[in-house]
Structure 1
Amino acid sequence: MLFAMDSISSSYLILNDLLFGRVFMYIPQLCPIVSPYFYAPSITLKIIHVFHHHARFAKSVAQTFMVLNRMTCVLLPATYNTIWKCLTPVACFLVYTLPFAGLWNIIISRQYLIPFRGGFGINYIKAVPWAALSMFQAIFVLIALTSTVICTTVTLYKLILLPGRLRSIEKSLCLTSLSISITFLLVAVTQLLFAFCPSCVGEPLYLYQLLAFDLYSVGSAVIMIVTNKHLRNSIFSKNTTKGTRSNTVSVVVRSSG
């Protein structure tokens, strides 16, 4: 369920980039057609902006719970199902609601368009000057990053200590945990630079952040498919047994007397 919610957030980020963000960046001829609709304050612009950042916040919260999930799977295999049967509904609720703790200022603020690499992006005029979006994102990212480092370290250490037979079983979990943690680390670095290094903010950092979020949004699904044989087979393998018929051959044996 956590992976499903994370996938929903990733899907929204990808669709938003394809249909709104990147399309105007790569096809700037569309900007004169669309931009007049957003000269004045628009509820559509606000919804796009809020939903986009809600998805980013939600992925940070989901990342925290997913690394905790993987760690408990290795540390407490006997009680893992019982623990997460209780924790999963709570975790899903928090993935949806906690992002609003960092979004309230952009909800009450005015959004406007800014030019970016031939296209345009969305910025906002802070209604509450101290409540910067980058500050809240940095808090969420730092919590998720700390959880990722601790849980991934403990998970990998425990996997190393497992017997050879069990270690081979948990190999995919190890690769998944390490790979997703690395992609999240790239996101965390760019976000922390936005929050704590004003001199670093510029077009190159925006591009690095776009690349980092692309890797993180798409990478988790790709990593799961690559490392999970059963998932990979269920997606790509063809059911060759469908439509086949079984033939029964009757053999009559006569006894001569």
Structure 2
Amino acid sequence: MPDAIPPIARLLTIMAALRDKTSGCPWDQVQDFATIAPYTVEEAYEVADAIAAGPDPATLRDELGDLLFQVVYHAQMASERGWFGFDDVAQAISQKMIRRHPHVFGDAAARDAGMQTAEWEAEKARERAARGESGTLSGVATTLPALTRAAKLTKRAARVGFDWDSAEQVLEKLEEETQELRAELPAADPARIADEVGDILFVVANLARKLDLDPEATLAAANAKFTRRFQSVENTLAGQGKSPADATLAEMEEAWVQAKKSGL
């Protein structure tokens, strides 16, 4: 395929060829929105991973290309159904960004930060209404990671005044939910325990939001910290000729404390 073709046009041509009913790739021919959606989510996470890791320009470029391909894939399937094409997707997002940024593309008076925020939210509300969505919590995607969705739900509720005044009050609620979980432990009813643990996680996500933190990012950082420290525990034990399975909890705890003191 000639390189003289503009890159986006070339990519669209490649996608159409992959989906061609007679000469296309057998795997690509049978895919639909539902089967491709998990790959779209996966590619978005891989972009985030590439950014968190450095980023390395070449790696980030490649990951962004993979994510762009997902958009092209969905647009091609929509085009085959006569719904819309890639150009329509690009046009729609362009129009949306112009509508949501009058302080850049229109009214100079809207450059005030408070007016910008108000107009952004008003425009999003108009868009939700146009889609027939009603209610404060409408439009918060159910497929978001649970902690992210919890933070977004409570942020929406906070906009209409349903919120705690301070992070300290959220901590008090967390203590209350913890006590409720303790009360359920003796009966050991799995459904009740799961419900209470869910409440705790929801409150923790709300606490992160109240502190202007991303709950997914903070948990990802905690995961990375745990991984570093546990790997240090394994290395310490290996130096003693042991594996974690061979060591006592006390020995692993001692190695864990050492890892913490070393700054891991």
Q: What range describes the TM-score normalised by the shorter chain of this pair?
A: under 0.3
Going by fraction, where is strand more abundant, 1 or 2?
1
TM-score, with length taken from structure 2: 0.26
